[in-house]
A and B are shown apart, each in its own frame.
Chain A
Amino acid sequence: MSSTTLSNATASQAPINKTRWERAVPVYGVPVVNRAFIFLLGMTVLAFALTAYRELAGLGPVSGMNDAYGWGIWKTFNVMVLTALGSGAFAVGIAAWVFRRKKLHALMRMALLTSFLAYACGLLLLGIDAGRPWNFYWIVFPWKWNMHSPLAEVAICMSIYAMIPLALENIPPVLERLWYFDSRLRPGVERLERGLHKFFPWIIAAAYLLPGMHQSSLGALMLLAGERVHPLWQTPWLPFLYLGAATFMSFGCVAGTTMLCCTVYRRAMDMEVLDEAARITSWLIFGWLGWRLLDILFRGAFGTAFHLDRFAGVFWLEMSMISIGGWMLRRSLQTHETRSMFLGYVLSSVGGMIYRFSPTTLAFRANPESLYFPSAIEVLVSLGFICMGVAGFLLIVKRFGILPAPLQEWHDMASYFRFRRPYIRWTGYFKYGHFGEDESPDSD
């Protein structure tokens, strides 16, 4: 009996929807190591080599940072901006688990993975950006913490979040892979899963509380800079606005990346899930825009938006990108065009990225007046750490069940592997009919 008929036989038992995302399925049949992957690895290796040089030479020779601009792109882009994009585990998770937008569960594994990679790469670069990283060990001595410092809050909370709740949330795909890998591992894996599920509410709740705290504290960082941040950005609501930007940016990152992967790997798109995500994102965007504009109006800073200077330019750039992005998302809900939905996500996320980037750089009025432009080494290290995250993503998506797909995809994968790797039959990978096959126990 051919495998196609087998999977069709199973499929007929369950109500099937050709495009409904039901299952996270690895991207199979695509080589992990290809030209792009080698390029990404090369960039990563280069970044690590430059990092070694940076540790010996100090920050001055490798970066454009100076006394006026103490913070360069490593902190402001790789940490402030990219962890906002990587807040998917927080924003999508809250929508799915706390506000019970159940359709969004299909996106959760993508959200958790992108978040973990963004945070891991960001934290690594935070360690490289620190001038005296060996002193980070104080992080395990709570009496040394300055409880009122936003930066301590960010450093402590971010590392705890990435290392404990976010890492634990990412374990189910790994356990699942082990479960399918060898039938002898199954009892152990199931025991682990039961243990994990027992603590899941506590883990998930921590995974929402901690990013809520540090994503807002990233905004609170610039409160202390006072008037050095231009009034269009400097506001007591900065923590709140930073958190809000992180929510819609991370929705854009998760849904946009999923759409991109679906296009690249020829997967069906579940428009019900994507519409739900786009609807939530558009409301987040309009709420955020409204809040920001009201805040600027009430503080009386709106006049400065009409001065002919770089601040007004950056302000209108980010506001227009975010609002056009939001409008395109709304429109895509009516026209069901994935193209405008994707563009909407890209525009709003890039606008949000500029917003998160501005207070420390573009909207920062340095004293003494001075310029900062990242040096080549700085850019290469920053890119290298992003490339490491992307390479990790490409590897994991192809080896673990992360990307959502219709049920059929799983059956297709089963037939593919039965055909390509017959030996899998006696490793137990397809035992017990968990690919929807009615194998009798003695068939292997």
Chain B
Amino acid sequence: MDITRRELISTIAKTGVPAAVAVSIGAPSLHAETENIPVPSAAVGLLYDASICIGCKACESACAEANDTPPDTRGDALHQAPNDLNDLTRNIIKLYKPEDGSPASFVKRQCMHCLDPACAAGCPFQALHKDPETGIVSWTAEECIGCRYCTITCPYHVPRFQWQGYNPRVTKCELCSTRLEKGLRPGCTNVCPTGAVIFGPRTVLLEEAKQRIKKTPGKYYQERVYGEFDNGGTQSIYLSRVAFGKLGLPELGPESVPAKTLRWQRRLYQYFALPALLYVGLVQVIRKSLKGHEQEAHEREKETGLRAQL
């Protein structure tokens, strides 16, 4: 006794129709949702102009000092400059120098403080979260389970996990939020001798960056501020002479990574309505199957004299 056509249709109807209805209701609002990511009211950030950075790395040591980071002496008890962001390095200066002699450039890498951060979108218990006012993306130890999903999701590869020790932490630039509370500027912007990295409200920084582009036409790559729209907009913004892609700032398009990839996921689990509908449909179908199955089992029990196994 296989499933009849009638039963098959009703099964599909009971489970599938709610799904289709919910999806079709949800679909039109999908596009509206992704268009404008809200900018926090008091969004602060960094403006880094790669064209005036001299690569002195004063910001690296200032960052370590501001965050009370011990020297990295894991290799041979001597401290040496790190070659990438790591669990003791929130901020790093790198150099792009092509072989063919075309223009070289330094680049400062730290958290971009995205308007729609992928790390926070993936973080299971909101250990990484975006401050609703300042927009600073920070990490709290109390909620973090150490799953390292943030290190997989961040398109800029910023959060770093501490691989040693029983109590590992996730390290990333938090824009020196403790210093900001005291009325101080972030460590890196405090020491920069050329003013290559400056701190301020995001709107002011954007204005400043656009002024610089206007003043020196043809100087900056594509005459564009990286982070104004990229990845849905970031609060650390960049100006550069060389292509952003060369400096490790990928061209991600104007849509943020979470909005681009989790759109359907978000819609399908909205208010948990669709799973709940599906659940009720499944219960109805299974209730009927169970009745038939029990009946057959008990008939067989009488025939064989052996206790039914359900």
Contacts and interface: CB of A to CB of B under 8 A. Distances in A.
Contacts of B146: 130-133, 135
Interface in B73-118: 84-86, 118
A206 B279 contact: yes
Contact of B261 (A102, A213, A223): A223
Contact of B121 (A10, A109, A130, A148): A148
B145 A132 contact: yes
B147 A131 contact: yes
A216 to B, nearest CB: 9
A16 to B, nearest CB: 9
A411 to B, nearest CB: 9
B262 A220 contact: yes
Contacts of B161: 59, 67, 70, 131
B168 A146 contact: no
A55 B166 CA distance: 6
Interface in A206-246: 206, 208-209, 213, 217, 220-228, 236, 239
B265 A223 contact: yes
Contacts of A368: 84, 157
A23 B269 contact: no
Contacts of A131: 144-148, 161-162, 168
Q: Can you list the 10 inter-chain pairs with the closest CB atoms, starting with the nearest?
A: A131-B146, A60-B163, A152-B124, A205-B282, A132-B146, A70-B151, A70-B148, A223-B261, A100-B3, A224-B153
Contacts, number: 225
A14 B304 CA distance: 5
Nearest to B74: A60
B257 interface: yes
A144 interface: yes
A10 B302 CA distance: 12
Contacts of B155: 226
26 contacts: A10-B304, A60-B164, A71-B152, A98-B11, A98-B15, A131-B148, A132-B145, A133-B146, A145-B124, A150-B262, A151-B122, A155-B145, A176-B309, A200-B286, A205-B279, A209-B278, A209-B282, A213-B275, A223-B262, A224-B118, A227-B250, A367-B157, A434-B305, A434-B306, A435-B306, A436-B306
A56 B168 CA distance: 11
Interface residues of B, number: 75
B151 A67 contact: yes
A119 interface: no
B293 interface: yes
B75 to A, nearest CB: 14
Interface string B283-310: 1011101101110100010011111011
B186 interface: no
A264 interface: no
